[in-house]
Structure 1
Amino acid sequence: MKIGIIGAGAVGLLYGGWLGKFHEVTMFPRTKEQARLLNEKGITVKGGMSPFTVSVKAQETPVSPGTQELVIVTVKQYDLSGAAAILKKMDTAIPVLFLQNGMGHLPLLEELPQERILVGTVEHGAARIDAVTVAQNGRGKTNLAFFRGNWEGIAALLETAPDVFPFRLLPDYEIMLLRKCFANAMINPLTAVLKVKNGLLLTNPHYANVFRAVFEELIALFPKLSRQEMWEEVTGICRNTKENESSMLKDVKKGARTEIDAILGFMLETAARKEKEIPVSAALYEMVKGMERRN
């Protein structure tokens, strides 16, 4: 399968590396320099198993990925407008998969002309080391669901590498995205403000009290979600990634823009729409926005 990947940050490199072992991958990074390096050196994935390097093609992002059988968009949510401009020039029959945190991108997807759109959530941990190297800090799976249309080629993606880099197709994109957004809204802002690894949200009793307070605020917004299941899910993520730094903490430490608007901002918008107060979450949002402004 010919797969184009828009974005060559941590997630883009991780998917380019793994899918490049089994498919013909073309990367569409932001700069000509990164495209040159990817063409010369390929992508190297390091992590819990033996490091590997795969050869990929690369072109600067403004080039339309119009000859692909699947396009995967891995840029962060606040950069999606640029990717959308590229997608609008593409053949609308080419399926597109979006891998972003949060749910703020759904209105943008409604405006796209593509006949087949999928959304996904990423359970892998990834950290970009340099322009061609990514560290896989945790192995999980990629959850997929159709936002629009259907695609017979999904079978080839699901069967790519089920034992080492699995994809799972789910029936309801809204519930899938909401569960991931819920977990991110609990873990990312709090770790970014406290500057701690994920595990300390449970093992430090004072941090755990705030963690629980945020949970109680957010679960009250979504009666469709099971309280017990969501508590087990978010605490399980903290335990399984106890030595990891959240992506938002990494962004804050780098002085980079965070995805706070796409994640906790969505929760605040939901609370306002339902006329509910979530004061602890609102305070965390303002703290992260303040750190962004400072940087």
Structure 2
Amino acid sequence: MLIDPNNIKVGFIGIGVMGKSMAGHILDAGYKLFVYNRTKSKTEELLNKGAVFLPINELAKNCDLIITMVGFPEDVSEVYFSENGLINNSKEGSILIDMTTSPPSLAVKIYDELKKKGVFFLDAPVSGGDIGAKNATLSIMVGGDEEIFTSVLPIFGLMGKNIVYQGKAGSGQHTKMCNQIAIASNMIGVAESLYYGIKAGLNPEMVLKSISTGAAGSWSLTNLGPKMLNEDYAPGFYIKHFIKDMKIALDESIRMGINLPGLKLALSLYEELSRMGYENSGTQAIFKLYTK
């Protein structure tokens, strides 16, 4: 496929916190964009800029390349496997890309089913949250056929900067699990570090200034540390979605026979937050466990 704005129609399913910005970059680049979201009102801004709203089956029949960015594995399954879903309705030779974080086994299943239909599939979960989506600086981890990955690099380049081919179908999702496992323990460290500084009588903003550029530095410390201090728990990435990701990673680790105690601890803390009513807050709300 020639990835040329004048030659292909792009579909985007899932206009949420991140999907809205990601789809917007594609539209701004001149592509003919067709969108679907369960809550149509969330697509209004894109529609006003020239995107066209279509139900999934019609979008599948009209588009050459389709990106899905939905919430949970069950949403991915519905979008792909339902009667009016993508598998039954996509055009032969089209390319489908799931950028949702979901189980590697599901990515392999979708790849195999679409291959029978002559449709190509990539699993390409992302990292970087709403900030990365808005700034088109997402890290994109991709599994599937390498030649298909190469052909869609111009599209990936509109949404991210660190775009890496990881291997066969499911490899992108496995890489995202590595990413989430690293973040899980790091978020505990960020929250405990800042809480310690406050209890020690330090100016926490000055603490951040010192430690964010040293060996303790991380994306979470730089971007979410200030939000913790400002009690800004607006979601760049929902706690409920992080819990979903950690459960996938834990299930995979059990399947592989490995023990990840840091992941288990982080999951238990975020589940406690969820029980407290913060499932729709951003992951930085872990700080509430220390300041409650």
| CA separation of 1:180 and 1:293: change in aligned 2, threshold 3 A | same
Q: Match for residue 182 of structure 1?
A: 178
Q: Match for residue 30 of structure 1?
A: 38
User: Which structure features the higher share of strand residues?
Assistant: 1
Q: Match for residue 20 of structure 1?
A: 27
Q: Match for residue 97 of structure 1?
A: 97
Cα distance in 2 for residues equivalent to 1:272 and 1:164: 33
Q: Match for residue 52 of structure 1?
A: none
Cα distance in 2 for residues equivalent to 1:75 and 1:169: 21
Query: Within 5 Å, which residues of 2 pair with 1:69-84?
Result: 69-78=64-73, 79-84=75-80
Q: Match for residue 282 of structure 2?
A: none
| CA separation of 1:56 and 1:140: change in aligned 2, threshold 3 A | same
Cα distance in 2 for residues equivalent to 1:16 and 1:278: 35
Task: Pick the aligned partner of 1:66 from 61, 65, 81.
Answer: 61
Q: Is the 8 A contact 1:122 1:141 kept in 2?
A: yes
Q: Secondary structure at the match of 1:159?
A: helix
| CA separation of 1:102 and 1:240: change in aligned 2, threshold 3 A | farther
Deviation per CA, 1:170-203, whole angstroms, max 9, x where unpaired? 2525555434322223325764xx6xxxx93595
Deviation per CA, 1:133-163, whole angstroms, max 9, x where unpaired? x982x552453534258439x54x4235958
Residue 88 of structure 1 aligns with an amino acid whose one-letter code is I
**Quick check: 58-67 or 77-86, which moved more?**
58-67
Q: Is the 8 A contact 2:65 2:96 kept in 1?
A: yes
| CA separation of 1:202 and 1:184: change in aligned 2, threshold 3 A | farther
Cα distance in 1 for residues equivalent to 2:256 and 2:163: 32
Cα distance in 2 for residues equivalent to 1:275 and 1:60: 42
How far 1:87 sits from its partner (Å)? Answer: 1.0
Indicate the structure (1 or 2) with the bigger Cα radius of gyration.
2
**Quick check: 103-112 or 19-28, which moved more?**
103-112
Gaps of 5+ in 2: 1-7, 198-213, 278-292
TM-score, normalised by the number of residues in structure 1: 0.62
Q: Is the 8 A contact 1:251 1:258 kept in 2?
A: no
Q: Is the 8 A contact 1:7 1:75 kept in 2?
A: yes
Cα distance in 2 for residues equivalent to 1:102 and 1:167: 20
Q: Match for residue 200 of structure 1?
A: 190
Cα distance in 2 for residues equivalent to 1:151 and 1:204: 44
| CA separation of 1:266 and 1:135: change in aligned 2, threshold 3 A | closer
Gaps of 5+ in 1: 43-54, 128-133, 208-231
Cα distance in 2 for residues equivalent to 1:252 and 1:14: 12
Query: Within 5 Å, which residues of 2 pair with 1:112-261?
Result: 112-114=113-115, 115-126=119-130, 136=134, 138-143=135-140, 145-148=142-145, 150-151=147-148, 154-155=150-151, 157-159=152-154, 162=157, 166=161, 168=163, 170-172=165-167, 176-188=172-184, 191=187, 200=190, 203-204=193-194, 236-239=218-221, 241-243=223-225, 257-261=240-244
Deviation per CA, 1:23-50, whole angstroms, max 9, x where unpaired? 11111111344455643x33xxxxxxxx
Q: Is the 8 A contact 2:34 2:53 kept in 1?
A: yes
Q: Is the 8 A contact 2:143 2:173 kept in 1?
A: no
Residue 58 of structure 1 aligns with an amino acid whose one-letter code is F
Query: RMSD value over aligned CA atoms?
Result: 4.2
Cα distance in 1 for residues equivalent to 2:133 and 2:158: 19
Q: Match for residue 212 of structure 1?
A: none
| CA separation of 1:168 and 1:273: change in aligned 2, threshold 3 A | closer
Q: Secondary structure at the match of 1:71?
A: strand
Residue 9 of structure 1 aligns with an amino acid whose one-letter code is G
Q: Is the 8 A contact 2:14 2:37 kept in 1?
A: yes
Cα distance in 1 for residues equivalent to 2:142 and 2:261: 32
User: Which structure features the higher share of helix residues?
Assistant: 2
Q: Secondary structure at the match of 2:63?
A: coil
Cα distance in 1 for residues equivalent to 2:269 and 2:172: 28
How far 1:11 sits from its partner (Å)? Answer: 2.2
Matched, 1:284 2:260: no
TM-score, normalised by the number of residues in structure 2: 0.63
Matched, 1:6 2:13: yes
Task: Pick the aligned partner of 2:250 from 265, 268, 282.
Answer: 268
State, as a whole percentage, how many aligned pairs show the same letter. Answer: 13
How far 1:250 sits from its partner (Å)? Answer: 5.2
Task: Pick the aligned partner of 2:52 from 32, 57, 77.
Answer: 57
Cα distance in 2 for residues equivalent to 1:108 and 1:164: 26
Cα distance in 1 for residues equivalent to 2:108 and 2:57: 23
